[in-house]
Amino acid sequence: MDGLDPKVLAKLKEKVQKELAQRERETIEYWLNELLKVYQKNHQSLSEFKADIRQFIDKMRNRLEILKTKGY
């Protein structure tokens, strides 16, 4: 990295940090909305609520497995 201008390097680092923060915000917003759907649903019993939570957990686990297998 000796050949790179420190100003260019700093701008590149800032751009990457902003992009990562944006992606993290989008990810958190997505999962928050999914959880809110479960929360706002009118569950008739505890077993219905638990089934919806289990489905939510399974979605998250599946997504993590996909990311792990792709190497992200």
**What is the number of structural domains in the chain?**
2
Q: Are residues 30 and 14 in the same domain?
A: yes
Q: Are both 47 and 70 inside the same structural domain?
A: yes
DSSP string, 12-61: HHHHHHHHHHHHHHHHHHHHHHHHHHHHHS--SSHHHHHHHHHHHHHHHH
Q: Are residues 34 and 51 in the same domain?
A: no
The residue range of the domain holding 53 is 42-72
- Are 10 and 36 in a shared domain? yes
Residue 41: name the closest of 30, 51, 31 by CA.
51
pLDDT 10s digits, 8-65: 999 999 999 999 999 999 999 999 999 999 999 999 999 999 999 999 999 999 999 9
Note the pTM of the prediction, 2 decimals: 0.72
Judgement on whether residues 32 and 20 belong to the same structural domain of the protein: yes
pLDDT of residue 2: 63
